[in-house]
Amino acid sequence: MSSAPIVLTKQLKIRSEHVNCFRKLRTSTLLRFLQEMSIAHTEELGMGRDKTLDKGLLWVITRQNLSITRMPEYDETITLRSYPGEMMHLFFPRYYEILSGNEVIITAQALWMLIDEKTRSFVFPEEYGIFIPGDPKHTEEIDRIPLRFPEQVSGLTESSYKTRFSQVDINGHVNNACYFDMIEDLMPPEKCNITASLSIKAEYGNEIRPGEIVTIRSGYEASSLFFEGIGSKPKFRIKLDD
């Protein structure tokens, strides 16, 4: 069993490449920070690429929830903290905090799982000796209620989007962080200037492969803004709440 700490902590300074024109951290970059923290900690806990990637097993995210009090800004130094929850059969819960000084400004949760690189189907981690010790106290806090695009929305829009080579990650599919660049490109610019609290719920279904064409639908229900990506099958659903 690895002696790595159950909580991984890292300090990071927000640089110009991380921010948008409002000098706020891009949502997609925030998600990439969380992904890299997850990978780094998984390796420290003894489940690195020699046990997964090199054996044709890929880590993917199926669900992600974020609560943002405010977005970090250009030139700000932040502290990222991440720790795993107790394994849930196929799923690996993981939790995150981002602090500015002693203030927690972002909390997040994610459900990770493993898929087979060739079949693109889920695998049972115990069959491959994959185990990550976690804290059971917080595991059930993850909201797993399925997201649904409402039947009746106001301001309904639909856009066709062809995925690009630059969006494809190490797993051979469009990285889920890119979904947030896609939807922000469809929003009025001022909506991307996050100046107050924001809740994000995201559900990732079928992966988007290189060159695939996806229809992105968006619309409002009350104060919630919904997005849905659809190809031959549903790809993702995202809900934003102020």
* Confidence at residue 4, expressed as pLDDT on a 0 to 100 scale: 57
SS3 assignment, position 241: strand
Question: How many other C-beta atoms are found inside a 10 Å radius of the C-beta of residue 148?
Answer: 11
CATH value at residue 2: 3.10.129.10
- Residue pLDDT, tens place only, 85-119: 999 889 999 999 999 999 999 999 999 999 999 99
pLDDT reported for residue 13: 98
Are 123 and 154 in the same domain? Answer: no
- Asked if 80 and 39 sit in the same domain, the reply is yes
Indicate the pTM of the whole model.
0.93
107 and 126 co-located in one domain: yes
What pLDDT is recorded for position 135? 79
| Strand ranges (E), the chain | 8-13, 57-68, 77-84, 92-100, 103-116, 154-162, 198-204, 213-221, 224-230, 234-241
Side-chain-side CA neighbours of residue 48 (13 Å):
7
Among candidate residues 125, 144, 163, the one where a domain is terminated = 144
Distances (CA, A) of 158 to 146, 175, 205: 22, 21, 19
Q: What is the pLDDT of residue 20?
A: 96
Token pair for 180: 């947030």
Q: Give the CA-trace dihedral at 131, 40, 73, 185, to 10 degrees.
A: -70
**Residue that is last in its domain, among 92, 125, 144:** 144
Q: Which of 144, 176, 198 is a domain's end point?
A: 144
Residue tagged 């977005």 (tokens): 71
3-state SS class at 37: helix
Q: How many residues comprise the chain?
A: 242
For 192, what's the count of Cα atoms within 13 Å in the CB-facing half-sphere?
A: 20
Query: Is the domain of 161 the same as that of 94?
Result: no
- What is the domain range of residue 239? 145-242
Does residue 149 share a domain with residue 138?
no
Residues of the chain where predicted confidence (pLDDT) is lower than 50: 1-2
Per the structure, the count of domains in the chain is: 2
Whether residue 46 is found in the same domain as residue 134: yes
Residues 164, 140 within the same domain: no
Parallel/antiparallel/unpaired status of strands 103-116 and 92-100: antiparallel
3-state secondary structure of 73: strand
Question: 19: which strand partners?
Answer: 25
229 in the same domain as 173 = yes
pLDDT at 15: 98
